[in-house]
Amino acid sequence: MTDQTTRAAADLPTRYTPAEVEGPLYQRWVDARYFEVDANSDKPAYCIVIPPPNVTGSLHLGHAFEHTLIDALVRRRRMQGYEALWLPGMDHAGIATQNVVERELAKEGISRHDLGREAFVEKVWEWKAESGGKILGQMKRLGDGVAWERERFTMDEGLSKAVQTMFKRLYDDELIYRAERIINWCPRCRTALSDIEVEHQEDPGELVSIRYGDGDASIVVATTRAETMLGDTAVAVHPDDERYRHLIGTTVELPLTGRQIPIVADEHVDPEFGTGAVKVTPAHDPNDFAIGQRHNLPSITIMDEAAAVTAHGPFQGMDRFEARPAVVAALRAEGRIVAEKRPYLHSVGHCSRCKTVVEPRLSLQWFVNVGPLAQAAGDAVRDGRVKIHPQELEPRWFAWVDNMHDWCISRQLWWGHRIPVWYGPNGEVVCVGPDEEPPSGEGWTQDEDVLDTWFSSGLWPFSTLGWPERTPELAKFYPNSVLYTGYDILFFWVARMMMFGLYAMKDDAPSGRDIPFHTIGLHGMVRDQFGKKMSKSFGNAVDPLDWMDAYGSDALRFTLARGANPGTDAPIGEDWVAGSRNFCNKLWNATRFALINGATVATAVPPREQLSPADRWMLSRLHATVAEVDAFYEDYEFAKATEALYHLVWDEFCDWYLELAKAPLARGGAEAETTRAVLGHTLDVLLKLLHPVIPFVTEQLWTTLTGGESIVIAPWPTADASCADADAEAQISAVQDLVTEIRRFRSDQGVPPSKKVAARITCDGSVPGLAEHADQVRALTRLTEPEDGFTAGATLERKGAVVELDLSGAIDVAAERARLEKDLAAARKEIEAADAKLANADFLAKAPEPVIAKIRGRKENAEADVARIQGQLDALPAS
């Protein structure tokens, strides 16, 4: 052992304390600029852009899960010699951020309208500078290896230019238009929403049947939204419905209003729903709007932006939910209610941000014509230019992009990218690009609306690299290598990036490089340990910072990665994080053991002929695992990669190799030096393999072990096929099997772990080399050499060896026999009781199947106990 390794062992505390290690290490990485990149280098490029968190957000388990996996991908590629860029940034989160700042203003008794638009936007920027972006510091806690010097924000100058450029190009290509359409309106946020910003859930409602008209000319409709009848402009029936064919083309009086409205025939109507006749309110229902378009019906808006009734009459000024029972009461008073309210469960849209019930509303808005853009996004996957992983999620992609509706992109907010369109005094409409001067003069005004946040984040893969300028970064890192994100935003974000990337880069990128990324990797959602969705309302939500404080960031990351199977949800529980903390401690203690015993990586591993079977076995298992882990990473199988490393470290390296290494280390000499070299090499490779998932503890251990600058920039291990050694693996497998059986026997017979037992070990030669390990077997199982008076009271046989044990004095045979016989009697009694119930025909006829199955299971367990206990009794020496 060298003085250097002795000092290194002394430098490593006896106990791993994450809080003392993680913060300083991360700052050292940032200061050393390990995560920064050179766009002009000749290294192969690897790029992932972060799914930008909201500026209002804080780290939750979903973020921690996703960031752990992305960080692992990028760290591995960096170690493999790539120019690896993980580009960070944030989304300006239009609605969410405006809501936050408006709440702050409300505390002062003022509104944004009191400030005016310009002053309010200044307030938002002030809030961002003081309170926004809290998540960035939390990302550092987690260990995110992002290029902080390249951090972007969707409202920064460069990205704002990209947004204006994209809008202008789409507008000029007639892929953006302004029209009156039914949109999703949030009365709380006072803005339009796109389809993907609406969350549908089953809400209880009440279905009422209302008679329009009188006598033979009357018709009954059923609705859950009685208040919207004030805006009805028709009643629709199916053209083949015999019940109403005679009414088609006639008119009927709309109750409470006195208006005459037509009865029209439309194939959209379901004759089986309700009465088979539906009220048509084109200004407040998307299906009704479509019927209205087909039949040239007028659209009457009867609610304002706050969802209060605007129709003249007794309901004017009422909130929609106040007006609903009031309208029903008025109809009842006129005798128009044919069927009283009955419960009805139906799908209702809610604003994804504030959870307010969305109101369909006819409104003048800006839209993207997604037809050709969505077609291109679908084709890129169909022809293989972009891979979706796992592939079984491809149908969900096609189901969306092949049926996408035009995208409403205007929002009635002040915070965001203002639509670059000016209106002139004589009806002129001018779209202005980023390098153009807007029109000036009296009467010219800019559009008041801002763009949907997803518009700017849809440019993220290329705008963050400098587009529309042709920068070195764009040339180097576009297309991105991988987009790794949750399957739940496949449509929110991924589809928009695909559409915009293919459109924007068709002229700005070489052929075949217009796609925004080569691979779309999709992970699932984090759930609790019982598989239930995490939610504050369920009481099972977890703040990942609490677990990082308690167990360390590595422990949380390891747990998350260990549950990450492509495209499927990942359960997680605190006990599992505690177990991962124990794994980190195990790795720490194993490295300390190696250092204390002089392990080194300064010396090359000796040639094969100088290695013991245990050394050869360890190297064979190590390099086989390197190959496995590489294959798993290439297939985004994080759980399998992490599980393979867990078992290699804990089950093979710590539980077996370190124990097998103790004897040669104790003997000293050349044999010990060889073991030290293998110990050092194995730990060097293990720590590198583990680094992408648990970066902090591996950095501390690796730099202490090797004296190297940083594991962050250390080379990734390469599998060495020459280390494969089937003979050594067979030998050590036989040793493991034999040791495990002896330990099981000792436990079954109640022999105290500290008690030494004399034994004779005889190898029959069927496992070559097994006899050489007899001393190691004895050391691992507390067996001693037989002496005079040895009596073989018990015999064990395993492949290649027979072990005879002298248990005299090791246990009280009479007491042990009495205990086992008592247990045997209890097990047999359990079988008898089960047999009695299972033989009772009356019981079998009446008992539920789960109860019967439970009794059968108890019988099977008891039968197994009988076999086990009888074997233990047979193994006892004679009294």
Q: What is the three-state SS of 412-475? A: CCCCCCECCEEECCCCCEEECCCCCCCCCCCCCEECCCEECHHHHHCCHHHHCCCCCCCCHHHH
The H-or-E segment that residue 850 falls in is helix 849-875
DSSP code, position 223? E
Q: Give the model's pLDDT for residue 91.
A: 96
The residue behind tokens 């245990």 is: 614
* Single-letter residue type at 772: E
Quick one: 775 and 836 in the same domain?
Answer: no
Q: Does residue 654 fall inside a structural domain? A: yes
Stronger pLDDT, 424 or 816, i.e. the higher one: 424
Query: Beta strands of 213-319 (E only): which ranges?
Result: 219-223, 234-237, 251-253, 260-265, 277-280
Binding residues: 536
Q: Of 132-146, 444-458, 464-478, 750-764, give the lowest mean pLDDT range.
A: 750-764
Query: Would you put residue 480 in left (φ > 0), alpha (ψ -120 to 50) or beta?
Result: beta
Return the number of other C-beta atoms located less than 10 Å from residue 868's C-beta. 15
Which structure tokens are listed for 782?
């507390």
Q: Is the pLDDT of residue 600 over 90?
A: no
Stronger pLDDT, 154 or 801, i.e. the higher one: 154
Q: Is the pLDDT of residue 586 over 80?
A: yes
pLDDT category at 653 given cuts 50, 70, 90 is very high
Q: What is the mean pLDDT of residues 422-432?
A: 96
Quick one: 206 and 346 in the same domain?
Answer: yes
Q: Is the pLDDT of residue 234 over 90?
A: yes
Q: Does residue 503 fall inside a structural domain? A: no
| Domain termination residue (choose one: 654, 681, 711) | 711
> Residue 347's beta-bridge partner residues?
202
| Domain termination residue (choose one: 663, 683, 711) | 711
> Mind listing the pLDDT tens digit for each residue in 356-375?
888 889 999 999 999 999 99
Quick one: 797 and 823 in the same domain?
Answer: no
Q: What percent of the chain has pLDDT over 70?
A: 96
> Mind listing the pLDDT tens digit for each residue in 18-34?
999 999 999 999 999 99
Q: Give the model's pLDDT for residue 341.
A: 62
Distance, in Å, from the CA atom of 698 to the CA atom of 552, rounded to the nearest integer, reads 13
Q: Give the model's pLDDT for residue 72.
A: 98
Q: Do the strands 757-763 and 783-784 form a parallel or antiparallel pair, or are they unpaired?
A: parallel
**CATH number for position 860:** 1.10.287
DSSP code, position 358? P
Question: Following DSSP, what letter does each residue of 577-638 receive, concatenated?
Answer: HHHHHHHHHHHHHHHHHHHHTT--SSSPPPPGGGS-HHHHHHHHHHHHHHHHHHHHHHTT-H
**CATH number for position 295:** 3.90.740.10
Distance, in Å, from the CA atom of 396 to the CA atom of 626, rounded to the nearest integer, reads 34
Q: Give the model's pLDDT for residue 607.
A: 93
CB 674, CB 615: distance < 8 Å: yes
Q: What is the mean pLDDT of residues 666-670?
A: 92
Q: Give the model's pLDDT for residue 342.
A: 66
**Length reported for the chain:** 879
Binding residues for ATP: 536
Q: Give the model's pLDDT for residue 636.
A: 96
Quick one: 735 and 621 in the same domain?
Answer: no
Distance, in Å, from the CA atom of 728 to the CA atom of 660, rounded to the nearest integer, reads 13
Quick one: 351 and 210 in the same domain?
Answer: yes
The number of C-alpha atoms within 13 Å of 348 and in the hemisphere containing its C-beta is 17
Q: Is the pLDDT of residue 591 over 80?
A: yes
What is the count of structural domains for the chain? 4
Q: What is the mean pLDDT of residues 7-14?
A: 71
Mention every residue, 6+ apart, whose C-beta is less than 8 A from residue 588: 12, 15, 16, 697, 701
Q: Is the pLDDT of residue 179 over 80?
A: yes
Q: Of 64-78, 522-536, 587-601, give the lowest mean pLDDT range.
A: 522-536
CB 226, CB 327: distance < 8 Å: yes
* Helical spans, DSSP H, in 12-156: 18-31, 61-79, 94-107, 112-115, 117-130, 134-142
Q: Is the pLDDT of residue 672 over 70?
A: yes
Q: Give the model's pLDDT for residue 40.
A: 96
* Single-letter residue type at 428: E
Quick one: 768 and 871 in the same domain?
Answer: no
Q: Give the model's pLDDT for residue 433.
A: 95
Q: Does residue 209 fall inside a structural domain? A: yes
> Mind listing the pLDDT tens digit for each residue in 40-62?
999 999 999 999 999 998 999 99
Quick one: 203 and 262 in the same domain?
Answer: yes
Quick one: 636 and 744 in the same domain?
Answer: no
Quick one: 578 and 664 in the same domain?
Answer: yes
Distance, in Å, from the CA atom of 500 to the CA atom of 463, rounded to the nearest integer, reads 11
Q: What is the mean pLDDT of residues 625-651?
A: 97
Distance, in Å, from the CA atom of 487 to the CA atom of 495, rounded to the nearest integer, reads 12
Q: Is the pLDDT of residue 770 over 60?
A: yes
Return the number of other C-beta atoms located less than 10 Å from residue 20's C-beta. 12
Return the number of other C-beta atoms located less than 10 Å from residue 359's C-beta. 20
Q: Does residue 130 fall inside a structural domain? A: no
Q: Does residue 642 fall inside a structural domain? A: yes
| Domain termination residue (choose one: 360, 380, 400) | 360
Give the residue numbers spanning the domain of 628. 3-10+573-711
pLDDT category at 183 given cuts 50, 70, 90 is confident
Quick one: 787 and 827 in the same domain?
Answer: no
Q: What is the three-state SS of 97-134? A: HHHHHHHHHHHCCCCHHHHCHHHHHHHHHHHHHHCCCH
Q: Does residue 83 fall inside a structural domain? A: no
Quick one: 662 and 752 in the same domain?
Answer: no
Q: Give the model's pLDDT for residue 4.
A: 55
**CATH number for position 653:** 1.10.730.10
Q: Does residue 199 fall inside a structural domain? A: yes
* Single-letter residue type at 310: T
Q: Give the model's pLDDT for residue 340.
A: 66
Q: What is the mean pLDDT of residues 523-552?
A: 84
Distance, in Å, from the CA atom of 137 to the CA atom of 125, rounded to the nearest integer, reads 19
Quick one: 638 and 781 in the same domain?
Answer: no
pLDDT category at 879 given cuts 50, 70, 90 is low
> Mind listing the pLDDT tens digit for each residue in 198-232?
888 877 778 889 999 988 889 999 888 999 999 99
Q: Which of 511, 512, 507, 482 is nearest to 494 (CA)?
A: 482
Q: Does residue 437 fall inside a structural domain? A: no
